Amino acid sequence: MSAEKVNVLIEALPYIKEFYGKTVVIKYGGSAMVDCRLKEAVIQDVILMRYVGMNPVIVHGGGPAITAMLDRMGKKTEFINGLRVTDSETMEIVEMVLVGKINQEIVALLNQLGGKAVGLSGKDGQLIQAEKKLANWYDESGQEVTADIGYVGEVRKVNPAVIETLVTEGYIPVIAPIGVGRQGETYNINADYVAGAVAGALKAHKLILLTDVEGIFADLEDKKSLISCIKVDEVPGLINRGIISGGMIPKIQCCVEALEEGVSRAHIINGRIPHSLLLEIFTRKGIGTMVVK
Amino acid sequence: MSAEKVNVLIEALPYIKEFYGKTVVIKYGGSAMVDCRLKEAVIQDVILMRYVGMNPVIVHGGGPAITAMLDRMGKKTEFINGLRVTDSETMEIVEMVLVGKINQEIVALLNQLGGKAVGLSGKDGQLIQAEKKLANWYDESGQEVTADIGYVGEVRKVNPAVIETLVTEGYIPVIAPIGVGRQGETYNINADYVAGAVAGALKAHKLILLTDVEGIFADLEDKKSLISCIKVDEVPGLINRGIISGGMIPKIQCCVEALEEGVSRAHIINGRIPHSLLLEIFTRKGIGTMVVK
Amino acid sequence: MSAEKVNVLIEALPYIKEFYGKTVVIKYGGSAMVDCRLKEAVIQDVILMRYVGMNPVIVHGGGPAITAMLDRMGKKTEFINGLRVTDSETMEIVEMVLVGKINQEIVALLNQLGGKAVGLSGKDGQLIQAEKKLANWYDESGQEVTADIGYVGEVRKVNPAVIETLVTEGYIPVIAPIGVGRQGETYNINADYVAGAVAGALKAHKLILLTDVEGIFADLEDKKSLISCIKVDEVPGLINRGIISGGMIPKIQCCVEALEEGVSRAHIINGRIPHSLLLEIFTRKGIGTMVVK
Amino acid sequence: MSAEKVNVLIEALPYIKEFYGKTVVIKYGGSAMVDCRLKEAVIQDVILMRYVGMNPVIVHGGGPAITAMLDRMGKKTEFINGLRVTDSETMEIVEMVLVGKINQEIVALLNQLGGKAVGLSGKDGQLIQAEKKLANWYDESGQEVTADIGYVGEVRKVNPAVIETLVTEGYIPVIAPIGVGRQGETYNINADYVAGAVAGALKAHKLILLTDVEGIFADLEDKKSLISCIKVDEVPGLINRGIISGGMIPKIQCCVEALEEGVSRAHIINGRIPHSLLLEIFTRKGIGTMVVK
Amino acid sequence: MSAEKVNVLIEALPYIKEFYGKTVVIKYGGSAMVDCRLKEAVIQDVILMRYVGMNPVIVHGGGPAITAMLDRMGKKTEFINGLRVTDSETMEIVEMVLVGKINQEIVALLNQLGGKAVGLSGKDGQLIQAEKKLANWYDESGQEVTADIGYVGEVRKVNPAVIETLVTEGYIPVIAPIGVGRQGETYNINADYVAGAVAGALKAHKLILLTDVEGIFADLEDKKSLISCIKVDEVPGLINRGIISGGMIPKIQCCVEALEEGVSRAHIINGRIPHSLLLEIFTRKGIGTMVVK
Amino acid sequence: MSAEKVNVLIEALPYIKEFYGKTVVIKYGGSAMVDCRLKEAVIQDVILMRYVGMNPVIVHGGGPAITAMLDRMGKKTEFINGLRVTDSETMEIVEMVLVGKINQEIVALLNQLGGKAVGLSGKDGQLIQAEKKLANWYDESGQEVTADIGYVGEVRKVNPAVIETLVTEGYIPVIAPIGVGRQGETYNINADYVAGAVAGALKAHKLILLTDVEGIFADLEDKKSLISCIKVDEVPGLINRGIISGGMIPKIQCCVEALEEGVSRAHIINGRIPHSLLLEIFTRKGIGTMVVK
């Protein structure tokens, strides 16, 4: 390490102080979970965050591994209005891939690179209590249609006790987005929503969603129009004007819900940039789009 | 509950006192994991053990679910001298089934019936550190043969910190017999050995192996010849005389190793009997075969 | 223990869970304190309650031992309108019998049968702070008469610190119904009232009064008319209608006062039934009469 | 408080420092327990000791109250070779007087004068585990005679857990010299021996026996011949030479046994002198006879 | 120590009880800091207070040592309307004398005489956060004049964390009246005000100002007219009537401010009387003038 | 912070892990204490060390400030054989400068830049217990001469309790090299020796001496001959061969003594290089000369 590099550590000091002892919930998904180099960079970022005094908590998504496994097993899944019906056999495979493969890979990599990680699903310690989520849409005639698409759930309640037990002892919890129903049944839940609900239950300082886009643009055509900060009460307007649309709507909703539960800041950042987590945390401007109250 | 039944609780009191605050490691496998009614009985037994003051820790095996999944995926596995070669693809499936399916089913059932359970694999908190195990046998000419059969491992070291953290907070840890190698690679390990090593690392009071047999018989033909207690130093003689043989040899070896690490008692009991755990613990004579120093 | 008996333990599990960590104050008196077999059953019940996670606290009465000792000492006691005048000499004997004989017998039996008990009087740690209670009645002409009948007291304040210290360390406190006045003087207090006040001060989950009757009957002539549940605001009506009368009135008043201090449930049960405590706790219906808010 | 008096506090400072945090076991008996003024002085001394940072523990004897009660009850006790035979009826009365009268009076007085006291007998928390002590003597023909004189016991084991629990919370434990046998039976034990055994079990700094004499005199006729310090290995010689004799022999033996268990200093002092405890502790020379290793 | 002297300890007991566990902040200054004999008496008083269970905290002034050092260094200081201008060079010398000389002498003496002391300035742990205080007065024409007289400060905020850390571990904190500004600059603050602010931040039981006068007199000519107790709302009247005047005004203001922050009692006593602290605390009447709400 | 800079943080991670929770004692002196820019760099380094999990403890020297103050006060100091005689007046000034000026400047700067610092001298909590050190040398005729040069001391014993109390609460202790004698007298001690003794008493992981040289050179003329590692048993040889000489001898002796007390590594590094502390800690090779067992 040269003298020049040491200056970088000194530059980082104000940020280390600012986030000392703070909880940061990271939704880990998208390209950052596929590309080997990006994956290692995210893991290193999380370990560094822990060592400089933050309490990172990871919630991961499923990524292409689930589809690959369903294909490999010749399991065909029905679609209703574009939504995959999750029957019990599909659910079983989804759970195995999320809990038995992806989660464990992240845990092993964190431990391998020097962290202390423990994997959790929503079943462990009744962490994520869920209920069935029905699909809603409007048909051609404009009538609302509701369909049961199987074991797709939404968060009913987060019981963060097991996370707190592990964090106190220095572990990094890694959470698979599986919920457990009142009768012990399994639900697949959107990982963004799980991350938001966990952040809310922990009264986390930050929720960071690692996505495959830069953030929210005022003009999608203009790469320079990234909105760096959005207030919660601007969100409805932005949706109405079509600036926030498509897959970004549920993401911004997670952010809004987390902020309402007491989280201070929510961030949508680009996981394709190596070390995007550190870039967000260790720079005054941050990267991506920040949502605040 | 009638007056008669209340007397049963009073009968149980001396056993409750005896095991108060003691750690009991249970290897859960065989028929007790397949039959629904037996499964529920085992889970109830474990929850009762926790509520009356013991610290139960479960290590589970894989059972027929692994084979079923391999079949379903059309994955053919090679055999060398009767041992299944575990290539990386097989290992991936084994891990998914053990960690993402069987483990989570046990956890969910424990929570459903009123316990507080958390699932762990050997990767969580570097719990079970493993190394490759080569297969050994003698060929027809009597020469020793050694073969690499892939990701089959043996326990190198148990790091029980995460178990202790969870037990202190009232959780029942449920452990899948997956080990992690020095480079983060995954190993499939015999669950009996994992249970023995975990019991040793925890200095458990008891190790109980739930099997599909009554215990060890002096004369296999004579159902009345069950040996209720074996001393460690009698074991080599019993093996030489063929009284302990076949699949019972590794089981008895786990027991012996656990005792040498400081476990007080090891038990081989019949998981086909409903509530066999309680029958072992709450009767003076116990059931099955006990191994002591 | 047979398979059948093991099922009884499993039946008990939901009750064990329900009362885990809860405080239960038991007024121990009447026949259950005289009959040897009943005595042992009560003590076993209390020890079992402790081992399965409850925090039992015993308040005992005096029973016939006080009268026996007064007789043995040739001490004659004056009566005013049916109330015994407790002069200082009588008080001295009452205290010796309660604290030095009955209390110690219960403590010794609890320890002998496997519990960890410590005896307390209201003087220890200023546990029960009392003041003189005057006797009130109406004379023949209907005029209210008030008389000083000596060292008969009522609870002014309970200081539960010493109970909490002992319970935290695993002890079962056994309390003699002796109060201490502002000048250090000794008062004899009705044990039901002490139990109620202690339960209130501890914000206990349950107060259980062991009596010699089944509970409260709608029709005293009809053994099938036991009222299993009474609400606090039904009590005045039941007294007015004569359904609650005589010695039951002070008992029900203790219950009402305890409930007003935050106790959840109060029970009047029949101590003549062996293991009545367990029958109350380990059955859905319970036994006797329960009073709730 | 005048300027002069304040100087006395300053004089006391070195002694307060010396004994800060130290445990002092006091055998309280003899005249100091009979005379009202002496009694109050002892209690004040103990409270002061606690407030200036020592951990005083009181073991009291019975004094004349036992004999008075036996007389009052017309209970005649048989004597064998000068030793009172303690049958079960006598034992019952002794226990009532010690635990239910004397102990409670001391506790009440300590609380009344501003301390925080809790009374204990050897039954509470199995504090003093005892066994039968046979009487031994030599008859006229010089033959050793052994006789069973009933419920007279000696200390088998002290379990100081309950004392430590109470001391940690700021209480002054007051112990009645009652022991409990293996079957829960009650034993009367010499209070000096109980004090010595308790001091040993607590590894107390000091054991102080309050007696009715000045200490040990080199020449009983010469009041100036008080021996202020005796070493343990001088004791046998002093007994042989008749300098220590009669009732002083068991007292000095308690001291020797306590010192052998790790107590630093044992003192035999005159309880007839008001505030003799403070005079012992707050003066360089002390009073009475000190026994050291 | 004679019997008579022991009685003095017993006399002190009610006061020891009353102040057990209470925090007492002492402003130490004036003659009591100059005279060797008085100095030792104050230090002994503070150590005694600690050993009998109080938590004394000392704030000291500067006394003549500062002037002496300025003279020795030939440092001339300008005066504006009678107020010394504290330039940065003067401030440096003031700090060195307060922190490096006077504070350390007090610490060393406390340790030498048996206490456990640690010196603090307002910079340690950001204990006393200060801001510049401008001087105000009215010129001849009656116009208000404001002048910058340099590094003279007033308390902006007290951060008592470091005091609490040290007190918990048994140390006596000794505080020099130096404040630290927002940019890390040093301020000299009146020690009376520092003592008042520290007492307020600690919610101390008592604030005691050691001065060179007896207290406040109703009639300065009449030594018998000492006012032993003043209520806060009497203070403005006493100032208006000229009974409180001159240097006593800021002292009484400190007292009033401390009482408003939650301190129970404030005292102005005569430090010229040896052991005046103990005389205040260990007598019913106290000495000097007490201010209460 | 650019992507490039983030990589520097990741590079630092292995070092952060290695030193997590370790104590590092830093002797701070020489040019690094004079030059403003170097001063700020050292302080930043120490704060960073604390935030990334190390426990830094600073011992500072006096530097030119002492001489400057002596000059300013016109205090002439006598020299005997080149050693300054420290009379009591000199000692007073030395203490004021070390404790009241230099120490407080470091504390204020640490707090100003975001640390939590508390200043200590050897008097605080009896931290550095010292005794007089006589000067020794050989006169022209080769005879050993011993002279009393006043209040120059050496460490007799370190009582690290106050350091541990502060470190546990997150403070950075800053220690002035002042010792306290048995009679409370003040001694000036070489700061290198104080640092070594403090490191030994704390069983620190590292002792780092910030000096004005690169380290130890095999050939003083050859700047490339820096010895990066010396074993303790090579030291005597290096002194004999003149490679370690002059002012470096006491420095290397401090290192050796610290290593013998259980410190793992001692380092002599060049404080003239900005951020030399971080360069030492965050590079595999380190800088300067390391001394190990």
What tens digit of pLDDT does each residue of D37-72 get?
999 999 999 999 999 999 999 999 987 899 899 998
> Vertex B202, ends B201 and B206: CA angle to 5°?
110
CA distance F53 to chain A (A): 7
A201 vs A157: CA distance, rounded Å: 9
Contacts of C119 in chain D (CB under 8 A): 121, 123-124
Minimum Cα–Cα distance from A274: chain F residue: F3
Q: Which residues of E256-272 are buried (b: 16+ CB within 10 A; e: fewer)?
A: bbbbebebebbbbbbbb
Contact A159, A130 (CB under 8 A): no
3-state secondary structure chain D: CCHHHHHHHHHHHHHHHHHCCCEEEEEECHHHHCCHHHHHHHHHHHHHHHHCCCEEEEEECCCHHHHHHHHHCCCCCCEECCEECECHHHHHHHHHHHHHHHHHHHHHHHHHCCCCEEEEECCHHHCEEEEECCEEEECCCCCEEEECCECEEEEEEECCHHHHHHHHCCCEEEEECEEECCCCCEEECCHHHHHHHHHHHCCCCEEEEEECCCCEECCCCCCCCEECEEEHHHHHHHHHCCCCCCCHHHHHHHHHHHHHCCCCEEEEEECCCCCHHHHHHCCCCCCCEEEEC
CA B18 to each of CA B12, D35, D162: distance values in angstroms, whole numbers, following the listed order: 10, 50, 21
Contacts of D12 in chain E (CB under 8 A): 1, 9
At E26-46, the pLDDT tens digits run 999 988 998 999 999 999 999
Question: Which A residues 237-256 touch F at CB under 8 Å?
Answer: none
Neighbour tally for C2: CB within 10 Å:
10
Q: CB distance E6–D52 less than 8 Å?
A: no
Q: Of the candidates A101, A111, A124, which has its C-beta nearest B100's C-beta?
A: A101
Give the mean model confidence (pLDDT) for residues C247-270: 95
Q: For chain F, first and last CA: distance in Å?
A: 41
The pair of three-digit structure tokens given for residue E133, joined into one six-digit string: 């205080």
pLDDT above 70: percentage of residues in chain E: 99
Count of CB pairs separated by less than 8 Å, A with F: 94
**Mean pLDDT computed over every residue of chain C:** 93
Q: Do chains F and C touch (3 or more CB pairs under 8 A)?
A: no
The pair of three-digit structure tokens given for residue F190, joined into one six-digit string: 């070489």
Q: Which amino acid type is present at position C43?
A: I
Residue A117: strand pairing partners? A172
Contacts of C103 in chain D (CB under 8 A): 99-100
DSSP calls for E67-117: HHHHHHTT----EETTEE-B-HHHHHHHHHHIIIIIHHHHHHHHHHTT--E
Domains of chain B: 3-292 (3.40.1160.10)
**Mean pLDDT computed over every residue of chain E:** 93
- pLDDT at C142 (0 to 100): 85
- pLDDT at B75 (0 to 100): 86
- pLDDT at C126 (0 to 100): 97
Burial of A87 (0-12, 13-18, 19+ CB in 10 A): middle
Contact D127, D156 (CB under 8 A): no
At F61-110, the pLDDT tens digits run 987 899 899 998 888 878 787 677 899 999 999 999 999 999 999 999 99
Q: Which residues of D are annotated as a binding site for substrate?
A: 62-63, 84, 188
Give the mean model confidence (pLDDT) for residues C222-241: 94
Confidence of residue A1 (pLDDT cuts 50, 70, 90): low
Q: Establish whether this prediction's ipTM goes over 0.90.
A: yes
Contacts of D20 in chain E (CB under 8 A): 51
DSSP calls for B83-96: EE-B-HHHHHHHHH
At C140-197, the pLDDT tens digits run 888 988 889 899 999 999 999 999 999 999 999 999 999 999 999 999 999 999 999 9
pLDDT above 90: percentage of residues in chain D: 78
DSSP calls for B94-106: HHHHIIIIIHHHH
Segments in chain B below pLDDT 70: 1, 82
- pLDDT at D181 (0 to 100): 96
Touching subunits for chain E (3+ Cβ pairs under 8 A): D, F
Q: Which amino acid type is present at position D35?
A: D
Q: Of the candidates B95, B97, B171, which has its C-beta nearest A104's C-beta?
A: B95
* pLDDT over 70 (residue F148): yes
At A115-162, the pLDDT tens digits run 999 999 999 999 999 999 998 888 888 898 888 989 999 999 999 999
pLDDT above 70: percentage of residues in chain C: 99
- pLDDT at C81 (0 to 100): 72
Give the mean model confidence (pLDDT) for residues D16-44: 94
Nearest-CA neighbor of B193 among B146, B125, B241, B261?
A: B261
Burial of F110 (0-12, 13-18, 19+ CB in 10 A): buried
D145 compared with E176, residue with greater pLDDT: E176
At A224-256, the pLDDT tens digits run 999 999 999 999 999 999 999 988 998 999 999
pTM beyond cutoff 0.90:
yes
C124 compared with D74, residue with greater pLDDT: C124
Question: Which C residues 9-38 touch B at CB under 8 Å?
Answer: 9-14, 16-17, 20
CA distance B250 to chain C (A): 29
